[in-house]
Amino acid sequence: MSMVRSDKLDKVTTSIFTELVLEKRAAMARGVDVIDLSIGSPDLPPPPVVMDVLREGVSDPTMYGYTVTGIPEFHDAVAHFYQHRYNVKLDPKCEVLQLMGSQDGLVHLGMAVLNPGDIVLSPDPGYTVYESSIRLSGAELFPMPLLAENDFLPDLTAIPEEVARRAKMMIINYPGNPVAALAPASFFADVIAFAKRYNILVVHDFAYSELVFDGIRPCSFLSLPGAKEVGVEFNSLSKTFNMAGCRVGYVVGNPDVIHTLSVFKSHVDFGVFLPIQKAAIAALTSDYTSLDTLVTEYTVRRDALCEGLTKAGWTVSKPPATMFVWAKIPEGWTSHKFAFDVLNYAGVAVTPGHAFGRHGEGYVRLALVHPPEILRKAADRIEQFLHTPELARA
């Protein structure tokens, strides 16, 4: 029989990432030693308490049944974490929902609340799952450009009135990926006012909430007055506690949205493995010293890469947050050609900016997923590449 494929899948673009993976494999097959800065997968271990609790849990034969939902202690732990880290009070019974990672939750939310023809305001460049969640739900995407001259904040006044009136959802992401930017509280206040005016659900992706540098404290969208009336915030233990493979996260905020998503989830999953839930509880209720250590480590990595690239003649600004560097490429290349030339001639894999949206052209994203000495080595390779005049440019 011939395979029947949903029309929705034809609207989801994955070609550039597939192309990059194939190019990396081909380079390695030729014997190229590739330093991979293209994927944001944490290379650091979780705090010892997480591994201890997980180790104990997997040894307990009673832990292997369905959990169906998040256990109450997990929801309590999230509320505890938000109170202590962001001064946000949450009702764990109706304002917290456990997820199998924030990425799953973002896609499921789109399916739960969007209808064909709805408009979603989404950042461009933006994390690729935003577009996927919109396309798979049958809704329409309206891009909000993130430009350097606007500090990589969307200009709400540039959204046409007729689009704003039709919009059902707005996605924002600070600290951001791929653009490693922060948003001031005043921006969140403007978003809340905009959402109230046009009856728009605000979805804030806060997955990099604790990777904020230089003494700056992270700002939760929900810490602003009125935020719970219009929105929810997604967060994860993947980056904060280096538990990416555990697939556990949560969404917090507006209770009506939380309930709607919980109904959807009741049809698609049977909960997170109980030892992982207990390990997550241990992380969320710990003394948080691991978070200070994490910030210190990523600060050192950021400085090593950015200073190395600047020394190489490629001036790259140090990001204020996240595990990424969003770098404007040297003149003479497109994002695609620069990324693939750096891979093939320098052995360093980076992600071309246009993979995240039209306004990502002219940039590449580099992930801080190696120790400082490896990042310095990557910068040295790129320096040699940039000073090889015989390499053709676009």
pLDDT in tens, 294-308: 999 999 999 999 999
Query: What is the pLDDT at residue 394?
Result: 43
Q: Where are the domains of the chain?
A: 7-45+289-386, 63-284
Cβ neighbors of 39 (< 8 A, separation 6 or more) are: 351, 367, 369
Query: What is the pLDDT at residue 388?
Result: 84
Q: Which of 280, 288, 287 is nearest to 74 (CA)?
A: 280
Per the DSSP assignment, residues forming a β-bridge with 326 are: 365
> What angle in degrees, to the nearest 10, is found between the helix axes of 48-58 and 274-284?
160
Q: Are 235 and 86 in contact (CB under 8 A)?
A: no
Helix (H) or strand (E) holding 87: none
Q: Which of 121, 130, 177, 181 is nearest to 153 (CA)?
A: 181
Paired tokens of 370: 């190696």
Q: What is the pTM of this model?
A: 0.96
Matching residue, tokens 């509280």: 185
Query: What is the pLDDT at residue 8?
Result: 78
Query: What is the pLDDT at residue 4?
Result: 75
Amino acid letter, 81: F
> If you classify domain 63-284 with CATH, what class do you get?
alpha beta
State how far the Cα of 175 lies from the Cα of 195, in Å rounded to an integer.
Answer: 20
Task: Look over the chain and give the mean of its residue pLDDT values, rounded to a whole number.
Answer: 95
DSSP reduced 3-state for 162: helix
Architecture of domain 7-45+289-386: Alpha-Beta Complex (3.90)
